[in-house]
Amino acid sequence: DAKTTQPTSMDCAEGRAANLPCNHSTISGNEYVYWYRQIHSQGPQYIIHGLKNNETNEMASLIITEDRKSSTLILPHATLRDTAVYYCIAALLYTGTASKLTFGTGTRLQVTL
């Protein structure tokens, strides 16, 4: 699996967009980009994933660069409940089987009033 690099921590004001970057310069053509978050003392929560195209769901948007070497997770209107550690994962997808998810150290996002 490709290694991902994320900033250690970020701050965001409540109500503003939180933009969390991730570098995955060695990503291969069949590796997806997954984002998870972990709120204190809870199990990780899936947010979104994508391969090439930008993706949006009710939680966030995922913007993947054309060369796929980096991506950005966007939380459009951050709230205090979005304070968490956010993990970006590049995972190889085998046809018909699941992806092994290797978590790095993630970005600790602190949303403030």
Report the alpha-carbon distance of residue 42 to residue 40 in Å, rounded: 6
- The widest CA-to-CA distance across the chain, in whole angstroms, is 45
103 near other proteins (CB under 8 A):
yes
53 near other proteins (CB under 8 A):
no
Nearer to other proteins, 16 or 30 (CB): 30
98 near other proteins (CB under 8 A):
yes
Pattern 27-46, binding to other proteins, x per CB under 8 A? -------x-x-x---xxxxx
Q: How far is CA 27 from CA 39, 74, 80, in A?
A: 27, 20, 32
52 near other proteins (CB under 8 A):
no
